[in-house]
Structure 1
Amino acid sequence: MAMGLFRVCLVVVTAIINHPLLFPRENATVPENEEEIIRKMQEHQEKLQMEQLRLEEEVSRLEAEEEEEEEALWQVEEEDQQEPEAHTTWDLWGTLCMIFFLIIEVWRQDHQGGAFPECLGGDEDEVSGLEGPPLRGLRLPNRATLDYFYESYIRSATGDVTRTREFVEGFVDDLLGALRSIYNRNSDMETEDFIGVGSMYENWHAERPLLCRLFVPFIPPEPYSFHTEFWCSSPSVPLEHQGYGQIKVTLADGNPLGCICDKTKLEDMVCLLHEENGGAWPSCADSGELEGLLCSRDSSYLDGMQVMKWFQTALTRAWHRISHKYEFDLTFGELDTPGSLKIKFRSGNSMPFILTPVIQCNDSDLYFTSQLPKEPCGGAAASSTDWILSFAVYERQFLQMTARTLPEGACHLSCLQIACFFLSKQTRQTGPSGLSDYHLKTALLHLLLSRQAADWKASQLDVRLQELFRFLERSLLEKKLHHFFVGNHKLSEAVGLPEAVRRAEPLNLFRPFVLQRTLYRNTVDSFYEMLKNAPMFISEYSPHVPSDRASSPLKAVAL
């Protein structure tokens, strides 16, 4: 009898969860009129009634069988002995039922927090689940118009990429050369050759101004070395620390730190391991403690904020040494970015670029960045000794490897450029949201890994663009977008990722949305508003399509 009552409870719970008015399915398509709504509700109600009748008959049959067994087998003494056990079993089932109802109530409260548009792309994990009708709100023009828009605006906006890169790289090479000439390599931090990263070096930059991003690795003077400790994703690592790491300054033999500045007789030597004293660079005491410029106070861990100050000071001194050779001014850009620089020409034009001081992680192409951005992991680091782990070099290498296998004139980068253009325009209209170019890029990398090479032909630009937004929509509604490299077992070993990164649990880039409901609602609203405004963005920059393009097929241009 107890088992029968439990099955009845399960029937009630199932009916509540599947009721269309209480819990509308996230992946259900919204009908366009009331008649369609009524018809689907009636069909759903009929199915529930049939299922309820079937379950009631099953429950009745089971109850009858239990009663027959009790009359034939059970004796009064056995019933007395088993009564405490049955009572305990019934209490267990009652407790489980209460847990079920509590879970349902929590789920209901979360759904009542805000109404979001339904996902039309399906809830399958495979890429095939992304195929389907166009997204609601996204009405792309015909392929001829999309082709003309890409060629006339995006391609023309990025036409000077090569020339810009050559100019910036030449200047940075001269600037770093001046920096090396100032500092003593035997006692000061030493900068290495720069590394180009980001959209300018991956050929998908979508808008002006063109912005070069360069990594500048640096190493400590002998006999010191950097010992990197990074955390990707594991139960022992707090969620707010996943994707970060720390850098310990040690002696080459692993002994506790000391300072070598007291061993040299150079009066104007710059010690980067200790603080300034009265505006001068003093010699250091025999303390063995790193109380200073680059390490956190009372610890041997490198401090990101101190590195920012050091790098800005170093660049300023290097520029003063070579400024007489150039007919332009060099100024700092964003204050919270240590190497955000801007070249200002006498004509009034400017050219921004970013030099980021980084530290190489062991012998890999992973780098710790000294700036603490909100992307890609979201939120600020817990302390200034937490450094964010950058996969920028691996991202560039993966795109280069993939491009060799794709058809000529493949549309993958064109797809990313157009998507980033839409996001940029929407951000200017409604302000920033929780969505960034890095999220779009991550979504594209996942699609590149899952799709066949032939699916990225030039003629498939509009289809792949739809699929990219559908993938992003599903990720937003699930509040789950996995980092492309951390814990991705589908990646080939040829990529060269460290084994610890490959074995790690997947890292969710959309985790901030789980904790910040307001940010999540604003992001989802902004996303659907962007889809709605996409045709307007295109028509604004390609108002008149030439007649010879009206019937021509789409031809994506390889960058």
Structure 2
Amino acid sequence: MALFRVCLVVLTAIVNHPLLFPRENTTIPESEEEIILKMQAHQEKLQLEQLRLEEEVARLAAEKGPLEQVADEGWQQHEAHTAWDLWSTLCMILFLMIEVWRQDHQDEPLPECPGGDEDELPGLGGAPLRGLTLPSKAVLSHFYDQCIRAATADAARTREFVEGFVDDLLEALRSLCNQDVDMEVEDFIGVDSMYENWQADRPLQCRLFVPFTPPEPYRFHPELWCRSRPVPLDRQGYGQIKVGRAGGDEPGCICGKTKLGEDMLCLLHARSTGAQPSFETEGLLCAGEAPYLDTMQVMKWFQTALTRAWHRIAHKYEFDLAFSELGSPGSLKIRFRSGKCMPFSLMPVIQCEDSDLYLISPLSREPSGGGPASSTDWLLSFAVYERHFLRMTSKALPEGSCHLSCLQIASFLLSKQRLLTGPSGLGRYHLKTALLHLLLLRRAADWRAEQLDTRLHELLHFLEKSLLEKKLHHFFVGNRKVPEAMGLPEAVRRAEPLNLFRPFVLQRGLHQRTLDSFYEMLKNAPALIREYSLHVPSDHASLPPKTVVL
């Protein structure tokens, strides 16, 4: 108001100036001196008025300054607080909308690509797969029939032979065990490519799980990483197996209450009749004084038991049995007199409660996100669930579907690349995981036999995107899209997703070598397929598609 009053006085003075706005009855002075004197007097009058107004403004400011300052500061704080609340609310609403959109986008099935071209998955960037130009459908189909299908034609006979021999071997093992103090060995379970019908190359190799349980009154209590307190990232996907009494009593051994034979050994305490326990042999299957199963001790026990069982039945067979790889204790090899060898894998496993989850030794080279932290860490295997899922999915796919053919061709290319550049961070289990994700995202009609080249290109593109992002989630862990009919434990379904490519985040050198090997595989794929295809018959395109029965 004071400033307004000053401006009003100045404006009034200007308006009343006699030279700018002369009055009608005023006469202009005749001499210049008279005009100058009047102007000076008027100027002095204005200056006095200005000084009076300035003093009044200063007095009013001194009286009302503190109150106005407090009011202004309070008003500014109120406005800032209101603005911050408003922005916080708007940001929260925005983030909520983004999260809802992301969840809806992820839950939706993959739409068909426009124009009938399904080479790309939505979200893969739309860029062509670098270095890959697949041959024609005829060449690709002929390659599959002549190279892959022919190489695995006797898979059924191989499985039958190996299963018969393993049955006899395990029966001999049971006959050597004391039911009171020895582990009880159950029937084997066939898993992996030979039992899922995507074995790509020779030699054909069966992979068998052999569950075992402790003697009464003991029981195994699996402790998974997702059911306890948070664990480090390198231990996700692992678990420990606690040995205790079924009724929850204090741990103890019944070897002192049961009469053992002279050459019988307690597997829990390595104590025989009349022998005193020693530090070196204490806890044969457990880690030191801890009540947890030790993977190394279990593998040593299993190897010893298999060796004794083989010596008992060796006279019935005209071949030799040996452990084929020191780095993988469960790998066995049958060597015939003709020189031919038949490898197979026999792994001791522990069932996780009443589910189809099994805990296996990391020495079995089961793919994982990292190495075990200690010898008491057991790797959680979903091999039985994977077999069930493929079998269930195949029933809904069209006849002669190409999903297993895609996996076989990709596995074949990877195995040939390994011969050239050696192993990398990309394994067959990663190929299988990528296919399982695509099976869940794609419609059943997208897997017709004539779409083999499109689906193969899509599978390889999915792998490229995963490698570049260093992220490939485990198919079952934390994947709530898996059908509930699979019977997956709820704790595993609700767990945090497990990144199988996490080692690439920690090891840049390994990631770069894997990328280089992958792109070289894509570059060599067309020439390799044509080389193994030899030639394409002129009537090959008219042949009916062959089916892969799961």
Map of 2:242 onto structure 1: 248
Cα distance, 1:262 vs structure 2:
1.4
Write the deviation string for residues 283-316 of structure 1: whole angstroms up to 9, x where unpaired. 56699x9932100101110000000000000000
The residue correspondences of 1:48-447 to structure 2 (distance < 5 A) are: 77=69, 81=73, 127-130=121-124, 132=126, 134-232=128-226, 236-266=230-260, 267-275=262-270, 281=272, 291-373=282-364, 375-447=366-438
Cα distance, 1:483 vs structure 2:
0.5
For residues 214 and 178 of structure 2, the distance between their equivalents in structure 1, rounded to whole angstroms, comes to 11
Cα root mean square deviation, aligned: 2.8
The letter for the 1-side match of 2:157 is: R
Write the deviation string for residues 402-429 of structure 1: whole angstroms up to 9, x where unpaired. 0000000000000000001111111111
For residues 232 and 353 of structure 1, the distance between their equivalents in structure 2, rounded to whole angstroms, comes to 32
SS in 2 for 1:225: strand
SS in 2 for 1:175: helix
For residues 261 and 474 of structure 1, the distance between their equivalents in structure 2, rounded to whole angstroms, comes to 57
Does residue 505 (structure 1) correspond to residue 496 (structure 2)? The answer is yes
For residues 162 and 173 of structure 2, the distance between their equivalents in structure 1, rounded to whole angstroms, comes to 16
Does residue 534 (structure 1) correspond to residue 525 (structure 2)? The answer is yes
Map of 2:443 onto structure 1: 452
- Partners of 1:290 and 1:300 within 8 A in 2: no
- Partners of 2:189 and 2:209 within 8 A in 1: yes
Write the deviation string for residues 179-231 of structure 1: whole angstroms up to 9, x where unpaired. 00001112110100000000000000000000000000000001111011011
Cα distance, 1:252 vs structure 2:
1.4
Count of matched residue pairs:
446
Does residue 555 (structure 1) correspond to residue 545 (structure 2)? The answer is yes
Cα distance, 1:537 vs structure 2:
1.5
- Partners of 1:233 and 1:243 within 8 A in 2: no
Write the deviation string for residues 56-97 of structure 1: whole angstroms up to 9, x where unpaired. xxxxxxxxxxxxxxxxxxx994699589989x99xx9xxxxx
Q: Which moved more, 1:528-537 or 1:384-393?
A: 528-537
Map of 2:462 onto structure 1: 471
Relative distance call for 1:258 and 1:188 in structure 2 (3 A) is same
For residues 234 and 556 of structure 1, the distance between their equivalents in structure 2, rounded to whole angstroms, comes to 49
For residues 187 and 544 of structure 2, the distance between their equivalents in structure 1, rounded to whole angstroms, comes to 41
- Partners of 2:241 and 2:293 within 8 A in 1: yes
Q: TM-score, normalised by structure 1?
A: 0.75
Q: TM-score, normalised by structure 2?
A: 0.76
For residues 374 and 189 of structure 1, the distance between their equivalents in structure 2, rounded to whole angstroms, comes to 24
For residues 364 and 515 of structure 2, the distance between their equivalents in structure 1, rounded to whole angstroms, comes to 22
For residues 529 and 274 of structure 2, the distance between their equivalents in structure 1, rounded to whole angstroms, comes to 62
- Partners of 2:188 and 2:210 within 8 A in 1: yes
Write the deviation string for residues 429-487 of structure 1: whole angstroms up to 9, x where unpaired. 11111100000000000000011100000001000001101111111111111100011
Map of 1:45 onto structure 2: none
- Partners of 1:224 and 1:251 within 8 A in 2: yes
Write the deviation string for residues 237-272 of structure 1: whole angstroms up to 9, x where unpaired. 210110000001101111121111111223332210
The letter for the 1-side match of 2:547 is: V
| Match of residue 523, structure 1, among 514, 533, 548 | 514
Q: Which moved more, 1:167-176 or 1:532-541?
A: 532-541
Map of 1:485 onto structure 2: 476
Identity of aligned residues (%): 69
- Partners of 1:262 and 1:285 within 8 A in 2: no
- Partners of 2:158 and 2:204 within 8 A in 1: yes
Cα distance, 1:368 vs structure 2:
0.4
Q: Which has the larger radius of gyration?
A: 2
- Partners of 1:458 and 1:554 within 8 A in 2: no
SS in 1 for 2:539: helix
The letter for the 1-side match of 2:536 is: V
Superposition misfits of 4+ residues, deviation over 6 angstroms = 82-86
Relative distance call for 1:331 and 1:370 in structure 2 (3 A) is same
Write the deviation string for residues 477-512 of structure 1: whole angstroms up to 9, x where unpaired. 111111000111111110000110111111111111
For residues 473 and 328 of structure 1, the distance between their equivalents in structure 2, rounded to whole angstroms, comes to 45
Cα distance, 1:282 vs structure 2:
5.2
- Partners of 2:401 and 2:448 within 8 A in 1: yes
- Partners of 2:219 and 2:243 within 8 A in 1: yes
Relative distance call for 1:352 and 1:275 in structure 2 (3 A) is same
The letter for the 1-side match of 2:548 is: A
| Match of residue 545, structure 1, among 515, 536, 539 | 536
Cα distance, 1:362 vs structure 2:
0.3
Q: Which moved more, 1:290-299 or 1:528-537?
A: 290-299
Cα distance, 1:134 vs structure 2:
4.2
Cα distance, 1:540 vs structure 2:
2.3
Unpaired runs of 5+ residues, structure 2, are 1-66, 85-112, 114-119
Relative distance call for 1:373 and 1:521 in structure 2 (3 A) is farther
The residue correspondences of 1:6-25 to structure 2 (distance < 5 A) are: none
- Partners of 2:223 and 2:239 within 8 A in 1: yes
Write the deviation string for residues 337-356 of structure 1: whole angstroms up to 9, x where unpaired. 23210000000000000000
SS in 2 for 1:357: strand
The letter for the 1-side match of 2:201 is: E
For residues 548 and 170 of structure 1, the distance between their equivalents in structure 2, rounded to whole angstroms, comes to 42
For residues 429 and 187 of structure 1, the distance between their equivalents in structure 2, rounded to whole angstroms, comes to 50
Write the deviation string for residues 531-552 of structure 1: whole angstroms up to 9, x where unpaired. 1110122122112222223x54
For residues 232 and 252 of structure 1, the distance between their equivalents in structure 2, rounded to whole angstroms, comes to 23
- Partners of 2:362 and 2:372 within 8 A in 1: no
- Partners of 1:372 and 1:387 within 8 A in 2: no
Relative distance call for 1:214 and 1:348 in structure 2 (3 A) is same
For residues 514 and 228 of structure 2, the distance between their equivalents in structure 1, rounded to whole angstroms, comes to 28
The letter for the 1-side match of 2:138 is: A
Write the deviation string for residues 360-414 of structure 1: whole angstroms up to 9, x where unpaired. 0000000000243554223220001000000000000000000000000000000
Relative distance call for 1:402 and 1:147 in structure 2 (3 A) is same
SS in 1 for 2:465: helix
